Amino acid sequence: MPKRSDSQTTLSDAQVAACVRAFAPAFEPRSTRAMYALRAAATTANERIAEWLADYGLTNRTVNVLMALFCADGNELPIESIGREIHTAGARLTVTIDAMERDGLLVRRIDPSDRRRIVVKLSVKGRRLIETAFPVLAGHFQDVFRGLSMRERDVLLDLLARLQTGLTARN
Please state the separation of Cα 145 from the chain's center in Å: 16
Total count of residues recorded for the chain: 171
**HEC profile of 87-120:** CCCHHHHHHHHHHHHHCCCEEEEECCCCCCCEEE
Residue 83: CB atoms within 10 Å? 20
Q: Is 5 helix (H, G, I), strand (E, B) or coil?
A: coil
What pLDDT, in 10s, does the model give residues 47-92?
999 999 999 999 999 999 999 999 999 999 999 999 999 988 888 9
Distance CA 51, CA 153 (A): 23
Mean pLDDT of 124-145: 96
Q: What is the pLDDT of residue 6?
A: 47
Residue 1 has pLDDT above 50, yes or no: no
Distance CA 69, CA 38 (A): 28
Residues 6 or more apart in contact with residue 86 via CB below 8 angstroms: 61, 64, 65, 68, 93
Distance CA 50, CA 42 (A): 12
What pLDDT, in 10s, does the model give residues 97-110?
999 999 999 999 99
Asked whether 61 and 88 are in contact (CB, 8 A), the reply is yes
Asked whether 159 and 148 are in contact (CB, 8 A), the reply is no
Asked whether 75 and 127 are in contact (CB, 8 A), the reply is yes
